[in-house]
Amino acid sequence: MFGSQFVLSAAQINTLAADLAPLGQQPGVRLALLLDLSGQEIVYIDSYGGLLIPSIAALAAGDMMATQEVGRLLGGSRNCNLIIQEHEELMILIARLGDGLLLMLATERSVPLGWARLALKRTSTRILEVVGNTTLSLAAPAPAMAMDAEFETDFAAQLNSIW
C-alpha cells in the first residue's frame, strides 16, 4: 500500500485521541475514526469495542475515493467533502479534512444528523489545528488517484469477505 503523507509526533497523536474522546462519550456514538486517504487509521474511539478498525478504515478510504470518482464521471469535481450513509440501525458520516485526512463518525439512527454534522465540523477544525500543516485546508484539492496492486488486492479481499 502506498505510504501515508503524514508524519505525526506522539504528542500530536495523543492530542488527536483526546480530541476524539468526547465524541466517543456521546450517547449513540459507536465509532469516531481519523484516517488518511490510504486507509491507515491514525486514532479512533470504538465505543462498543470489537470493531475491525483496519478493515473499516480501508473501506472508508475506498468509499471516499469511489464517491469522488463517480462525481468526476458525472461532470463534477473530485472534491467530495462529506458522505452520509443512512442504514436501518445506524448512520455513517465520512468527512474529508484537507487533502489527505478523513474523519468518520458512526452513530445510532436516534442521533440527530445536525448534531453529527456539527460534531464533525468542530472536530475537523481542531484536528487541522493539531496537524498544523498549512497545506491542509477544507478547500484543498483532492490528491491524485494512486493505487498500487497491494491496495487493489486488499480492497478486493475486503469486498469479497462482505459477500
Q: What is the pLDDT of residues 113-152, one digit of tens each?
A: 999 999 999 998 899 988 875 334 333 344 455 556 677 7
Q: What is the pLDDT of residue 5?
A: 54
For residue 2, the surrounding DSSP H or E stretch is none
Going from N- to C-terminal start, the domains of the chain cover 10-133+145-158
Helices and strands in the chain: count of H runs, count of E runs:
4, 5
Class of domain 10-133+145-158: alpha beta
53 φ, ψ (degrees, to nearest 5): -60, -45
